Amino acid sequence: MDHLLPALALVLVIEGLLLALLPHRFGEALRILESQPLERLRTIGLGAACIGLLIYWIVK
């Protein structure tokens, strides 16, 4: 639990920088995501969560 808040803060920093530095690309990415089927988005989200968990496990 000690790592949860710093990890969430880092996510906000990265997403904030992307939005601030590349707002046009960020908007394009959102439009592309919006056009994808829900099942594909679920699969991508689950894959990203698994990769993040694996990286956390390796680093810790």
pLDDT at 26: 85
pLDDT at 56: 84
CB neighbours (10 Å) of residue 18? 13
pLDDT at 50: 96
pLDDT in tens, 19-60: 999 999 988 998 999 999 999 999 999 999 999 989 988 988
Domain tally, the chain: 1
**3-class state of residue 46 by DSSP:** helix
Q: How far apart are CA 45 and CA 36, in angstroms?
A: 12
pLDDT at 36: 95
pTM, full prediction = 0.68
pLDDT at 13: 95
In terms of residue numbers, what domain contains 37?
4-59
